[in-house]
């Protein structure tokens, strides 16, 4: 019976996080479209960050309440879940075609970000204020780079209309943004932010209580229950994109979210409050890098992840779950 209350608090927290992120993205996108912000920029910023808001809320709350293990393990666990389960499930549904740009730019960048996290965390076994500010500067640079790349792509497509299919993501984003009344947009933004704030509090409180009652480490809870719960937006977004044939967008959403999680989420969390590193965090980041290289290897030769490779990714994740439960 003692476990029931924190479990309910945890579930309510996940619901608030996911619905809050949805409302925030819908309201923000509507305001941006109303003021004629290009769809590509909305997609690269508001929509992409929206799927990382649950991780951000949990990690910042955990950092502020000195639940440091939960802050790091949530991000690392979410990135592993995104890569192996979200991509794996999409590939089982339909083979994931991957563009040269993603293979040569975004994917290697996500591995570099994980490597930076490993090095900065291992030095002194802590992530401090300076590390957080450094991550945020890199994040701003990443956003500017993405927006600049998108503008170049649009200019190229306008010059060569026959290549318009390559810009499907912008068209997809454009077609799915509704212009709401301004009062409703602001209500969605404010309401979404409030839901995200309290959702983060509930998830951290619930997860910490469950860990204490069951005698489990916060790292284990962060890598499993919390990571899976906060990664639901990425899973849903990518599966819907894959079902609609937007397979490159499915992988792009995952890789973009993984970069956001490290640079934006941990950047904010550590800029606010330093986070201690554990050796378990080091091992999990190494596993994340190895898994990333494996998936990059799968996709490099034929520029796609097929169903067999997707299934193997799901099995590898299942084996990883067994490993972290018994270690």
- CA–CA dist 146, 43 (Å, integer): 10
Q: Which residue has the higher pLDDT, 265 or 196?
A: 265
Compute CA distances 94 → 197, 229, 240, whole Å: 36, 24, 11
**How does the average pLDDT of the chain come out, rounded?**
78
**Residue 11: predicted pLDDT:** 86
Q: What is the DSSP string of 165-201?
A: GGGHHHHHHHHT-----HHHHHHHHHHHHHHHHHHHH
- Is pLDDT above 80 for 12? yes
CA max distance for the chain: 65
Q: What is the pLDDT of residue 171?
A: 47
Three state DSSP letters for 79-115: HHHHHHHHHHHHHHHCCEECCHHHHHHHHHHHHHHHH
**Average pLDDT of the residues in 190-211:** 79
Split at pLDDT 50, 70, 90, the class of 166 is very low
d(CA 237, CA 43): 13
CA–CA dist 312, 308 (Å, integer)? 6
Of the ranges 74-78, 177-181, 206-210, which one carries the lowest mean pLDDT score? 177-181
Is-contact 76 284, C-beta < 8 A?
A: yes
Using a pLDDT cut of 70, give the percent of the chain over it. Answer: 77
Q: Which of 12-16, 36-40, 176-180, 291-295 has the highest mean pLDDT?
A: 291-295
For 115-164, the pLDDT digits (tens) are 999 999 888 888 888 998 999 999 999 888 877 776 676 666 556 655 54
- Percent of the chain surpassing pLDDT 90: 11
Please write down the HEC assignment for all residues of 28-42: HHHHHHHCCCCHHHH
CA 23 to chain centre: 17
Segment 289-299 mean pLDDT:
89
User: Is the pLDDT at 243 greater than 80, yes or no?
Assistant: no
Q: Are 196 and 54 in contact (CB under 8 A)?
A: yes
The pLDDT assigned to 23 comes to 81
Residue recorded with tokens 């005698």:
215
């Amino acid at each position: 019976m003692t476990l029931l209350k924190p479990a309910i608090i945890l579930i309510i927290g996940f619901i608030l996080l996911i619905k809050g992120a949805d409302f925030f993205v819908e309201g923000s996108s509507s305001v941006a479209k109303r003021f004629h912000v290009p769809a590509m920029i909305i997609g690269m910023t508001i929509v992409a960050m929206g799927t990382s808001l649950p991780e951000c809320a949990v990690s910042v709350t955990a950092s502020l309440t000195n639940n440091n293990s939960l802050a790091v393990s949530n991000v690392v666990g979410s990135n592993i879940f995104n890569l192996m389960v979200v991509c794996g499930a999409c590939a089982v549904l339909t083979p994931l075609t991957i563009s040269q740009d993603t293979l040569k730019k975004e994917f290697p960048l996500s591995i570099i970000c994980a490597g930076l996290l490993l090095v900065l965390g291992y030095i002194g076994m802590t992530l401090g204020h300076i590390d957080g500010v450094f991550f945020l500067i890199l994040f701003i640079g990443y956003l500017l780079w993405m927006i600049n790349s998108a503008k170049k792509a649009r200019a190229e497509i306008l010059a060569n209309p026959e290549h318009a299919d390559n810009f499907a993501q912008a068209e997809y984003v454009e077609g799915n943004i509704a212009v709401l009344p301004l009062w409703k947009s602001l209500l969605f933004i404010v309401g979404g932010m409030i839901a995200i704030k309290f959702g983060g509090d509930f998830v951290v409180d619930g997860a910490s209580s469950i860990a204490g009652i069951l005698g489990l480490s916060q790292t284990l809870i962060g890598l499993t229950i919390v990571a899976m719960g906060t990664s639901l937006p990425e899973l849903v977004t990518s599966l819907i994109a894959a079902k609609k044939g937007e397979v490159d967008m499915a992988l792009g959403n995952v890789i973009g979210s993984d970069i956001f999680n490290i640079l934006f989420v941990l950047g904010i969390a550590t800029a606010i409050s330093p986070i201690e590193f554990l050796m378990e965090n080091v091992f999990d980041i190494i596993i994340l890098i190895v898994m990333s290289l494996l998936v990059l290897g799968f996709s490099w030769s034929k520029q796609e992840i097929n169903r067999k490779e997707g299934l193997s990714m799901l099995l590898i994740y299942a084996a990883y779950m067994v490993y972290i439960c018994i270690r």
